[in-house]
Amino acid sequence: MERRLHLLIDQERYDKLSAESARTGRSVADIVRASIDLHFDEYRDQARRAEAARRLLAYAPDDGAGESWDEMLEARARDIQDMLECS
């Protein structure tokens, strides 16, 4: 490790960290580092999901092109029925 961080927290948070440390055998510092990593991984994942949603919502299919949701479900149901009949 190359950086030192001095952090003040309340007793309740410290008690939670201490209890987790005792339960897992990991140091409090290790638990804090892992929590930071988890937070930023989750933040990155949320940003990726938001960007994917933005792109999907920005997509505007041509009017009249393709099937409606109900038509796709009906076609899939027919495909499944055909597969069952061939078995």
Domains and CATH numbers, the chain: 1-61 (1.10.1220.10)
**Contact between 17 and 31 (Cβ < 8 Å):** yes
**Contact between 21 and 31 (Cβ < 8 Å):** yes
- Nearest Cα residue to 5 out of 22, 25, 31, 29: 29
Cα–Cα distance measured from residue 17 to residue 26, given in angstroms and rounded to the nearest whole number: 10
Residues 60-87: pLDDT tens digits? 665 555 677 788 888 888 988 888 888 6
SS3 79: helix
Would the pTM count as exceeding 0.85?
no
Cα–Cα distance measured from residue 72 to residue 58, given in angstroms and rounded to the nearest whole number: 22
Whole-number pLDDT of residue 10:
97
